[in-house]
Amino acid sequence: MARLTGQVAFITGAARGQGRAHAVRLAEDGADIIAVDICAPLTSTAYDMSTEEDLAETARLVEKHGSRVVTAVADVRDPAALKTALEQGVAELGGLDIVIANAGIAAFSLGHLIDEQEWAETIDINLSGVWRTVKLAVPHLLERGKGSIILTCSCASVQGPSHLAHYTAAKHGVLGLVKTFANELGPHNIRVNGLMPTQVDTPMIMHEGVYSLFRPDLEHPTKDDFVGPSQAGNVLPVPWVEPVDVANAAAFLCSDEARYITGVALPIDAGTLIKR
């Protein structure tokens, strides 16, 4: 029997990237999935956001592993829509055991040049959206009498990368949520942990806006031009990690193999945080 058989996971930002990888990886371990995503453009991002077709593809990949899946288009800034999506999923799948608050965006600008709208959108999605996700999910976990919550942090949760003041502030806040929720929910046998990836091969990172930050000497840098500067930030000889690498860590933290692990933020960073 797979280690998550009979469990239900609620995953935000599940249409592609890390969110899709989490959904598919947990399905491989037997979990059923409630997958939500905004599936709409945002004004702050320089890259295309997910689509309903992306979310449908996530569902197809989950079902390929024999797991059930409920999908919904929902914005983590909209508590009513998020609650409806969660309640419908719980009703159809029979409960809730795992939460992965993964939805997030990244916009790139020097801190003093970030406008009010971009700041507000980033904080509301990357920090407040995580809090809303946990807030709505906790009653279901309390009913279950146990649970595992995973919050997507970042190496930026403990660093101060340039051009990302709003993202960094949000991720520092998410790391704080990991610690506080772990303290509050631990007596109820609910574990709360974080994931701190380095750069991941997803659309949020892989676009010309990011490449230009690292290669300002080139007029139109490509992904190949990004390899060297990105790898320079890691100890291991890789430029970035893959979504499945982050999902593998999540699957472990959700399982009974990690039954006494709570309140930690696990780096999946190729050594970024120990880089001298």
* Cβ-based burial of 229 (10 A; exposed 0-12, middle 13-18, buried ≥19): middle
Q: Are the beta carbons of 44 and 28 closer than 8 angstroms?
A: no
Give the residue carrying structure tokens 């676009």. 207
Active site residue 211: no
Contacts by residues 180-186 (CB-CB < 8 Å, ≥ 24 positions apart): 181/134, 181/149, 181/151, 182/262, 182/263, 183/263, 185/138, 185/141, 185/147, 185/149, 186/262, 186/263
Residue among 140, 264, 197 nearest 21 (CA) = 197
From CA 68, how far away is CA 93, in angstroms rounded?
8
From CA 114, how far away is CA 135, in angstroms rounded?
29
Which 8-state DSSP code applies to residue 52? H
Among candidate residues 47, 167, 211, 260, the one labeled active-site is 167
Identify residue 244 by its one-letter amino acid code: V
From CA 198, how far away is CA 243, in angstroms rounded?
11
- Torsion angle of C-alpha atoms 218, 207, 230, 109, degrees rounded to 10: 80
List active site positions: 167
